[in-house]
Structures are given as structure tokens and as C-alpha cells.
Structure 1
């Protein structure tokens, strides 16, 4: 009866599906190629009217990160769908009387998907192809902050507790598949995580992301996915393959810090400008009056990568330490119960 009764959420779900489908269609249609130096404006005028032209953005300020917002269809729809499905799962649990820690919901929806939306729709997203330093802030949010928060939200556990029987079997089959075990193998995941940024900035990939909106959006997804493959088994609480002991987890986190520092120093010491054609063309346009020297901005970007990698790494250490302590306390409780049970059995045998 409940499945056949009318519910207002069906109307809202239908509207959401229609909006998401329309947005994905707009994305699939694509945009005409941009000439060199034609900056990508993140605001769609249908949603938020603006007066700036794509090639003439105002001077960047860090205050504008919180006041200058725009929407690209793909990251917007992705945020709505992922956060919405998670909240739907939490709602299903609560309707049947099961508890779900509010901290997990806050981590996944508020911090994880919230950070993803901020990185792609705030002033950071609007200027991510105008200033390399702003792009680097976005890079660190997407590759470290978002994966950590999503892992702490335990979405796999939530899905296993709320999905119907058949989709649950499919999910379990994926988790136990050989592909999942290979991709989550810690040394391989570590190699992918530390080499992906080098491939991004020292091949033609970064230049392609500046010239193509599609490549740019896929780069965002790639940063999150690679970070998820590496950090989920280390920091997450889901029953995913690739879980290792806490000492080895700490070792892997420690090993990532020199790579961020080395990459940041390498970018700072580069005499060749990353995205040279794109950033040089921007300076020749209307924004040339306020844009910093591209090489100075590149040095700043390398410093951001170096410093933020160490700072976020300390957050990771704190999270791992708390998880390790909690796991040790639970193990101690289980051991005490086992010893008490053995003692009780021994006492009853003597009597």
C-alpha cells in the first residue's frame, strides 16, 4: 500500500529528474571551441544574469570567492544527485526506525559535496582557468578534502543498509570483484595518486583542460576519483577492499607529503610557463590591466600546493589518530569480554 500511495516527494523527484535531464542534455550538446585566451565564464545567464563578458572578468579577490557564484550544469547536477541520494538513504533508515550518525551525514553532504560545489561553483570555479593559483586551491580541495569527507560519510555502508535486494547484490559483487581489489591495492592506488598531478601539469592534459570545457570538467571528476581510490581504504569506514592496518596507513600518508612538496617546488622553479598560450593570451585581453605576471602566479601556485599539502596532511594524521584510538578501545572491550566469558566458563566448570 505504501508503495502505491501518492507522495508529494514523487512530484519533487519528477521535477528534479526533469531539471537534471535537461542540464545533462545541455552538457552533452557541448559548446563551440573557444579561441585562445577566451576565458570560460562559469555563470550560465539563464540561471544567474551577469554583466561581465567571458573574456572580461573583474579583478580577483579572495572575498569574491564567497560572493561571486556561478553554475555549470555537470558539477551542479552531480552535486544534487549524489547528495540527494545520500539524504534519501538516510531518510529511508530513519523511517524504519534505524539510527544513522549525524556526523556521517555532515561529513558526506556538508563537507564532501559542499566542498565539491564550492570548488566548482564559487569564485574559485569562476577563476580556475584565469589564475593558476586559484586553480591550485581548487585542485587541493578536489583531490584531498572532498575524498576524505566522502570516505568519512560511509556511503557504501548506507547503500548496503537501504538498497533493495537485487541492487545490494550488484553492489556486493562490485566490491568483491577483481577490478575493485586491483584498483584499491594500496601500492597501486598510491602510485596513481602521486603520479596523476605530474601527468596533469607536465603533459598536454592541462593545456587541453584550458581549451575544452569537457576536458576541464572531467579533470575535476578525475581528481576526486583518484583521491577516493587512495584515501577511501585508508580513512574510510566502509567495508571496501584494500583495507590495511593502521601503521601501514600512517606510512602511506607520510609518503604522500614529500610528493606534494616536491611537485610544488618543481612548479615554483619552472622556467617554462604552464598553459603559456592560454595565460599569455589572457594578458593581451581586457583583463591584462589587473592580471598578475603569469610566472609570478605560477610561483604562487606551487607554494599553495606545497603548503596546503602539508596542512591537509596534518588533518589526515589527526583523523587517523582518532580512528586508531577508537579501534584500539573497541578491541580492548572485545578482549575484556572474551576474557570475562572464559573466566565465567572456567568458574562454572570448577563448581
Structure 2
């Protein structure tokens, strides 16, 4: 199986630009920014950079286990650090107040409210994995490097969306209750585990000539390492959640941008 995984392209450049921009805002911000938030974000950026470089894998490029490792880094572990670094809050602390209010108003728009639904995030993440491995899409990525890069981008964006909806400290249009978010996370864990078992059994990856040893190793890596990433996300949810002083039903509403920006620690 020939599978090119170029580490060059737009994504690595965006990773570097994001890390530099975040560090600049944290250093030049008008208010003190917690060092551990910066550490989380930069760790996430480092994990993302590693996930985009197949050379960090103990297996050769084109090996299915390398693909799974990259998936875990770019779609699950890196988003944890990037989102828990609260880049949105840092941005609101850095820009002028009128600009912050305009950015906050975007969260009230219908598309963002739909995107911020936990069910939307679940569909984008878990549904994307089912499409990737349950259709000939994965086989196509082994032949088209540009398609492979697009899959990387989808994994990253979907992972960040899911992490933000479940446990993100940044402002959200409507923050569902912790109970609902735990239910959605539980469904995602079940889907991920079932997908790994189906891959191990050889019931997925149509059209891709993946040797049994690679398929078994990749499925086991997805099953066990995926559990660790999802448990870390659950831990982030239960440790960062705090009941608000005023709530409407079971959801936290979008508030004033400067006030919310001051509230994240």
C-alpha cells in the first residue's frame, strides 16, 4: 500500500502562526494571563505538530497504525490542550471592548448556536469517523495526499468543536447542562469503542488493503488510547464546571464579552 503523508502544507504553518499569536496575546495582554493556560495551549500545538508529522510514529508512513496515531494526536489529544488554553477568552481580553462585543454577538447567531449544540458536535466527530472508516474514503486518502490533509483538517476542527462544546472554558452560545454533556460524551465513547472493535474484526475499511497485523494494532491503539483521551475530556468537564450564580433553565446564556473574559482563570 502506497500512502504519502507529507508533513508540509498549510496546516503546519497555521499551527506555528496560532502558537505565535497566542503567545503574543498572552504576553502583551492588558491583564495577567494564567501561565498554565498558555502551557495547555502550547502543549496542544506541540501535539498537533507531532500529529502532522508521520516521522514521530514508530511505524512507517502508510502503516495503518501511523494513521491511527495521527488521528489520536490531531483529533483528540491536541484539541484538549488547544481548547482548554481558552484562546477565545484570551482574544476577548486582548482586543478593544467594542470589538469584543461584536465578536460576542456572533455567538448569538443561528449558525453558531446550531454548531454549538452537543448533538451537532457528536454528529461531526463520530459521524465523520464512521464515514472515514465505513466507506471507501480511507482507501481514497491512501492514494490522494491532498485528501489525506483534508481529513487531518476535519479531525482537528471536529475535535476542537467537540472539546469546546463538552468542556471548553471559552464563551458558548448556549452551555448545556453537565448531565447532558456527560451523556453526549458517553455516546461518543461508545461509538469510538464500537468502531475500534469493528475495525479489529475487519468489518470496516472497504477497498483498503490493510494487513491484519496493522489493522489489529491500529484498532487496539484506537480503543485504549482513545479511552484515555476521552477520560481526560470527562475529567476536564467535571473539574472546570462551576455552577453559575444565575441560570436560565439548564443552560448558561452568552453574557457581556469583557465580563466573561475576566471570569476565566
TM-score range, shorter chain: 0.7 to 0.9
In structure 2, what is the Cα distance between the partners aligned to 1:88 and 1:106?
14
In structure 2, what is the Cα distance between the partners aligned to 1:135 and 1:191?
21
Partner of 1:89: 25
Residues 213 and 195 from structure 1, CA distance in 2 versus in 1: closer, same or farther, beyond 3 angstroms? same
- Deviation track 1:153-173 (CA, whole Å, cap 9, x = no partner) reads 111111111124665355223
Partner of 2:69: 137
Match of 1:243 among 175, 184, 187: 175
Partner of 2:257: none
Partner of 2:166: 234
Query: What secondary structure sits across from 1:276 in the alignment?
Result: coil
Q: How many residues align?
A: 245
Residue pair 1:136, 1:305 contacting (<8 A) in 2 also: yes
Residue 312 of structure 1 deviates from its aligned partner by: 1.8
In structure 2, what is the Cα distance between the partners aligned to 1:300 and 1:127?
11
What are the within-5 Å matches in structure 2 for residues 69-218 of structure 1? Answer: 71-93=7-29, 96=30, 98-109=31-42, 111-121=43-53, 123-124=55-56, 129-164=61-96, 167-218=99-150
In structure 2, what is the Cα distance between the partners aligned to 1:265 and 1:227?
21
TM-score normalized by structure 1? 0.64
Greater relative contact order (Cα < 8 A, sep 6+): 2
Residue 321 of structure 1 deviates from its aligned partner by: 2.6
1:319 equivalenced with 2:236 (yes/no): yes
- Deviation track 1:2-29 (CA, whole Å, cap 9, x = no partner) reads xxxxxxxxxxxxxxxxxxxxxxxxxxxx
In structure 2, what is the Cα distance between the partners aligned to 1:39 and 1:197?
19
1:298 equivalenced with 2:230 (yes/no): no
In structure 1, what is the Cα distance between the partners aligned to 2:215 and 2:133?
11
Residue pair 1:180, 1:241 contacting (<8 A) in 2 also: yes
What are the within-5 Å matches in structure 2 for residues 329-340 of structure 1? Answer: none
Q: Which runs of 5+ in 2 are unaligned?
A: 246-265
In structure 2, what is the Cα distance between the partners aligned to 1:89 and 1:304?
36
In structure 2, what is the Cα distance between the partners aligned to 1:240 and 1:213?
35
TM-score normalized by structure 2? 0.83
In structure 1, what is the Cα distance between the partners aligned to 2:76 and 2:124?
14
Residues 125 and 183 from structure 1, CA distance in 2 versus in 1: closer, same or farther, beyond 3 angstroms? farther
Residue 41 of structure 1 deviates from its aligned partner by: 5.9
In structure 1, what is the Cα distance between the partners aligned to 2:38 and 2:28?
13
